[in-house]
Structure 1
Amino acid sequence: MKKSFITTTLATAAIAATALATVATSGAQAAGQSAGNAGLDRAVAAARAHGSAFGLDNDQALQSKSFATDPDGTSHARFNRTFKGLPVVGGDLVVHTDKAGGWKGADAASHAVRVASTTPTVAAASAAQTAARTAGFTVRTSTPTLAVYALNGPARLVWKTQVDGVGAHREPAGKVVFVDARSGHVVDGWATEINDAGTGNSLYLGTVTVQTTASGGQWQMVDATRGGARTEDGNNGATTSTTGTLFSDADNVWGTGSNSNRQTAAVDADFGVGATWDFYKNTFGRNGIKNDGKGARSLVHVGNNWVNASWSDTCFCMRYGDGDGVSYGPLVSLDVAGHEMTHGVTSATAGLTYARESGGLNESTSDVMGTMVEFTANTTGDPGDYLIGERFALGGAKPLRYMDQPSKDGASADCWSKRVGTLDVHYSSGVGNHAFYLLSEGSGTKTINGVAYNSPTCNGSTVTGIGHDAAAAIWYRALTTYWTSSTNYAGARAGMLSAASDLYGAGSAQYAATAATWSAVGVS
């Protein structure tokens, strides 16, 4: 008897509504009632009063996702949306209010979320099979739940189907596929396991300090100062594994600087996680990936000859391959740690959809913040640069990506065009990477920390940079305050202009440079 790897879960509107604890029939007011927060109450009231601005009606409810207040009292409430109890894909929005609760506007991923019926005519099992056929990898499970899809085109009832399995190199593979619940056609889909292909006494940084925890006469690689983040040995097991063996040591001296010692790569990964945590904490006041003080897990020595690293929301963990030993060594460099953890930050904030231009912006955001981790860690072994993955490149192999001129990798886009959204997200990220470099350093030739750059513009203009610290501050505020799941590069420009105005003023040099930079990469 052949065993099926497809599982189905039929979720009716009633079941979905029961699972959404903050949803009530009173619509948007429910979020305020459940939160018990005066500022959030005012934001919900403002959203209800101005619901026509983003298509809110009495069949919709808002679920609070995050709430932030600026020093001047301006508040930014991020919500997810439901329609008749069903989650709305692309229904997320940010409501902005002044200190008195007055309306300042909203940024919404979409406006039209109404569907004629929430009763499917396509069976869940059929949707699961359709989604599995489109996955492109070996499928283990395909699990559908009902939702309203509102990202592109008219809203429609869909089976939101999570497909999980393994890829061609035994890496974890996941994809969410949206199957129209009335016609059975595939509407959209994108990856949910984010793999970034490329290829103590640490491997890359020399001797560094790592935070450990004493337990039972041993020391464990658990960082109690950073939310209990822990580093484990993946034992070269399957790249789908979510747990490994916690590293422990008798004398609290870790690694030898050589990859022949399994602790060595763990030192790099552990230090990178700490450096990323500190960057977000010290720069933006963010307390961990989800801003809840909880640390993630890192698994090193994952797979065999795996030239990859990945972030998974499901296990709240990072996995690092050992590379192929020829062109690339273990992928435990600082910029990779910062990159992967930032995927978690993006998921917890704007939730940029991992497809089309928003997927490229998602990848670019990870490259931007991974680069900032290098600069702020300020190590001698891996000083800050605008290259991604250069530290583990062996034998003359190229870095994975170049931010000053992304096309130097042979595939990434320097400039925006209508075809950018059709590229793999690691290549469409070039537009955002180029924009960040130009905003930080400006156009033309420059040498920074011994690396020579020559960044052209797409419109022939000359751009003057404002420094990477200011550029990152604008980027982060846009990510956490203005961008939504559907933000494309035009929306990225708009959000960063709003962020620059908030931080520096609409008449500032930083605001003008942000506008000039996006024009310089073709986004105007």
Structure 2
Amino acid sequence: MKLVSLRLVAAAAMAVCLGQSAFAAKPTGDNPAVQRALAHLGGAAFAAAHSSGADAFVARDLIVDADGAEHVRFDRSHNGLRVIGGDLVVHSAGDGSFRGVSQTLAQMVQIDLSPKVDAKLAAKAAQAEFGAGGTVKNKELVVFARDAKPTLAWDVKVSGVRADGTPSEAHLIISATSKKLLDRWDDIHTADAVGNGKTLYSGKVKLHADLSGSTYTLKDATRGNHYVVSMGNGTSTETIFTGSDNVWGDSTEASTETAAADAAYGQNMTWDFYKTTFGRNGIADDGAGARSRVHYSSNYDNAFWDDSCFCMTYGDGNTFTPLVSLDVAGHEMTHGVTSRTAGLVYSRQSGGLNEGTSDIMGTMVEYYANNANDVGDYLIGEELYPAGSGKALRYMYQPSKDGASADCFYATVGLIDVHYSSGVANHFYFLLAEGTTAGSPSKTCVKGDKKVASGSATLTGIGRDKASKIWYRALTVYMTSSTDYADARMATVSAATDLYGASSAEVAAVKAAWTAVNRS
């Protein structure tokens, strides 16, 4: 294979992420931190990054710690082809010296770039995998590097609607040599489930609105102008909520404004949680608000985040009550945070970590809100069931309680649905934060466990505040798009080391909690 000179490219407009104990450097292509990282990729980090002379790197995210340490996230291309699973973070010490690389790419990309399967055949194969009603929107030749050996593939994007009515923007990765389906995920991430707002779940809350003349609009100028629209039980037409009294809803489903008040409150609490806890200025860390869409479709039993519209969407429910509860709102918006940081691909173990991250931060939003009507807990979506039923969509302290989620890591956990493989991350987080003491309902895993934990080991939790800071730093500094559970263990250990020291009780607790869910 002929090798050309290493191409190092700095993004002209790069997102800047504010981590705890960190400050943002100027997001320009000639940023000194970016240039240092690029220099490392051409020198000290060349071998560590499994680089070849045909690789190019584009910076898209930057964190600078208070001590001057720099963490620059790059996307990778190979001979002009996007490398799925090739993204990485270059770490530099405060003096600018190379410290290390976080990535999941296992080896240098050295492949034949001539496809044996053309775009038309790949599209037909993708449509067949998607099923009836799918429309091919795009076909892109890529390097697929999520498996041990990189290979040439087609990323075929197919739009359609799932059986439950959820829109689908599916990526089907088709081998360019055999037409085999290598992977698939969806850009639609589901939940699987100062005026006054009279909400359905959170009681009476304060909401900001715009006033023009005598008309109020449910838009919050203090939080990036995020706003709420009604879909009118359809799927395409959006109508913004307006009124004359700046009172939104009546705490019942009879008023269409009630779900809007819940959605607005969920936006507010999620924005405030990320801002107060991590210094993050909105989902994309750019100060811009998203929008929430309520009353989506008819009897729609789900909620989802859509990156393409930068919006949350909530159904009114059929089996469930309207899916606008506080933890569901935090869950959905966290998908947006994940897409703009680690970019965890929504399949395999990385998909479970993506869902787990949303459950973890959605739970933390609920605790942060400290709302007496919806008390913080480690249940996801409990408000969607009848009061006193004890039911929830997911149970972080005992994921297997839902009948499908995994309490413990096992070799093929990445083959189950991402909403269920997330149980490993959820269980880890609960044990890290709360432990097994003081009447904790959680059990630890024993060697050989698959789904259900049955051990009696004792762990002492470090508290939610420390646990959330560790997870957020791991997500934004060390995880990459194809991070699996082994990588997540290393990422959280590194994050805890950064925050609390290598010999700290917090690092020991992180290691113990992973061991307790069988990821040692």
Fold match by TM threshold 0.5: yes
What is the aligned counterpart of 1:454 among 438, 441, 446?
Answer: 441
Cα distance between partner residues in 2 of 1:427 and 1:184: 28
Deviation per CA, 1:380-403: give whole Å up to 9, x if none: 111110000011212637100111
Match of 1:273 in 2: 267
Which residues of 2 match residues 224-303 of structure 1 at below 5 A?
A: 224-238=221-235, 241=236, 244-303=238-297
Cα distance between partner residues in 1 of 2:458 and 2:99: 35
Contact 2:168/2:188, CA 8 A, preserved across alignment: yes
What is the aligned counterpart of 1:465 among 461, 465, 472?
Answer: 461
Residue identity in the other structure for 1:512: A
Deviating more after overlay: 508-517 vs 139-148? 139-148
> What is the aligned residue count?
488
Q: Secondary structure at the match of 2:275?
A: helix
Residue identity in the other structure for 1:496: T
Residue identity in the other structure for 2:516: A
What is the aligned counterpart of 2:416 among 409, 420, 423?
Answer: 423
Are the structure 2 counterparts of residues 263 and 223 from structure 1 closer, same or farther at C-alpha, using a change threshold of 3 Å?
Answer: same
Residue identity in the other structure for 2:492: M
How far off its partner does 1:216 sit?
4.3
Which residues of 2 match residues 45-444 of structure 1 at below 5 A?
A: 45-49=39-43, 50-136=45-131, 138-198=133-193, 200-238=197-235, 241=236, 244-324=238-318, 327-394=319-386, 396=389, 398-444=391-437
Deviation per CA, 1:181-237: give whole Å up to 9, x if none: 233222221222112224x11111111001111124311111111111110001100
What is the aligned counterpart of 1:509 among 497, 501, 505?
Answer: 505
Contact 1:32/1:41, CA 8 A, preserved across alignment: no
Q: Does 1:477 align with 2:473?
A: yes
Cα distance between partner residues in 1 of 2:383 and 2:180: 45
Q: Does 1:31 align with 2:25?
A: no
Q: Secondary structure at the match of 1:522?
A: coil
Contact 1:93/1:484, CA 8 A, preserved across alignment: yes
How far off its partner does 1:445 sit?
5.4
How far off its partner does 1:167 sit?
1.1
Deviation per CA, 1:61-92: give whole Å up to 9, x if none: 10001011111111000000010111110010
Cα distance between partner residues in 2 of 1:265 and 1:485: 34
Contact 2:106/2:148, CA 8 A, preserved across alignment: no
Cα distance between partner residues in 2 of 1:73 and 1:502: 12
How far off its partner does 1:421 sit?
1.1
Residue identity in the other structure for 2:8: Q
Are the structure 2 counterparts of residues 315 and 29 from structure 1 closer, same or farther at C-alpha, using a change threshold of 3 Å?
Answer: same
Residue identity in the other structure for 2:473: R
Cα distance between partner residues in 2 of 1:440 and 1:41: 38
How far off its partner does 1:180 sit?
1.8
Please list every run of 5 or more consecutive structure 2 residues that lacks an aligned counterpart in the other structure. 13-27, 447-454
How far off its partner does 1:265 sit?
0.6
Match of 2:495 in 1: 499
| Cα RMSD, aligned residues only | 1.6
Residue identity in the other structure for 1:172: P
TM-score, normalization by structure 1:
0.90
Residue identity in the other structure for 1:417: Y
TM-score, normalization by structure 2:
0.91
Are the structure 2 counterparts of residues 136 and 506 from structure 1 closer, same or farther at C-alpha, using a change threshold of 3 Å?
Answer: farther
Cα distance between partner residues in 2 of 1:147 and 1:32: 20
Contact 1:338/1:373, CA 8 A, preserved across alignment: yes
Q: Secondary structure at the match of 1:391?
A: helix
Contact 2:210/2:217, CA 8 A, preserved across alignment: yes
Are the structure 2 counterparts of residues 128 and 142 from structure 1 closer, same or farther at C-alpha, using a change threshold of 3 Å?
Answer: farther
Please list every run of 5 or more consecutive structure 1 residues that lacks an aligned counterpart in the other structure. 1-24, 447-452
How far off its partner does 1:254 sit?
1.0
